[in-house]
Amino acid sequence: MSLRARLRIILMADEVVVAESEDPRLWHATLRAVSDEGGEGERHTFSGPRDGEREAERLAVAAFAEELGVDPEAVQAACAPKAIAPYVFLDRHHFESFKRLTPERGRNAVSNIVLALTLLLLWADKMRLARVAVRDGTAVLRTIGARDDHPGRAVDNCPWIRRSMNRLVLVPEEISKAIAVARAYCTKTSPDWGEPSD
C-alpha cells in the first residue's frame, strides 16, 4: 500500500499563521529555493502568480464584488481575496465595524467563524475551490488574530451554512443572507436581512 503525503507551505509571523497553501507550484518553487538546485551562490526567487493567474483572480474578484453589489475596490479593502490559502485576508477595521453593527447574541448575531466562512464560501464559489472546512475559516480569522471559541456550534446554528460530505456549503435557499452578511462586512454597514418590519 502506498501513502501520499500532503505537502503544504505555511508562512508564519512568530506563532501566527499568516498564510498557507497546498499549491504544488508554490511548494516546488520553495523546495528549489531552499535546496539551491542551481548550484552554490545562485539565487532563486518565486515570481508569484503568472499573468493568466492574475487575470483569473481579477475576474473572480469582479464576479465576487458583483454578487455582493459592491465595488471591487471595497472587496479588496475588506477581505483581499486571493488564489492562495487562506484565500480571504480580513481587515481589522472592517471586522471591528461589522462586530459593532451586529448584535452579540440573538437571531441576527453573526459569530466570528460564521463571518469568516461566509466570505470564504462565497469566494470559494468564484475560485472553484473544492472544499471548505471549519479549519479554513479559523485560518481566515487568524489573518487578524481573531478566533471563535465555539466554531462547530456556531456553524451548526447558522441557517445559510450546512455540512455536506465532510465539507461546508452555502444553503441555496438562504444565499441572500450570506450575501447580506458579506456585503455588510465589506461596506461597514448593518446586514439587510430583507425581513419585513412589524
Percentage of the chain modeled with pLDDT above 70: 75
pLDDT band at 41 (very low <50, low <70, confident <90, very high): very low
Please list the residues that pair with 11 across neighbouring strands. 19
Helix (H, G, I), strand (E, B) or coil at 19: strand
The average confidence (pLDDT) of the chain is 84
| Distance of alpha carbon 94 from alpha carbon 195, whole angstroms | 24
- State the DSSP code for 43: -
If one counts every other C-beta atom within 10 angstroms of the C-beta of residue 121, the result is: 23
| Distance of alpha carbon 161 from alpha carbon 169, whole angstroms | 6
Range with the poorest average pLDDT among 9-13, 25-29, 60-64:
25-29
The distance of Cα 160 from the centroid of its chain, to the nearest Å, equals: 16
Output the pLDDT for position 166. Answer: 86
* pTM listed for this prediction: 0.75
| Over residues 160-174, mean pLDDT | 95
Per-residue pLDDT tens digits for 96-153? 999 999 998 888 899 999 999 999 999 999 998 889 999 999 999 999 999 999 999 9
Output the pLDDT for position 198. Answer: 43
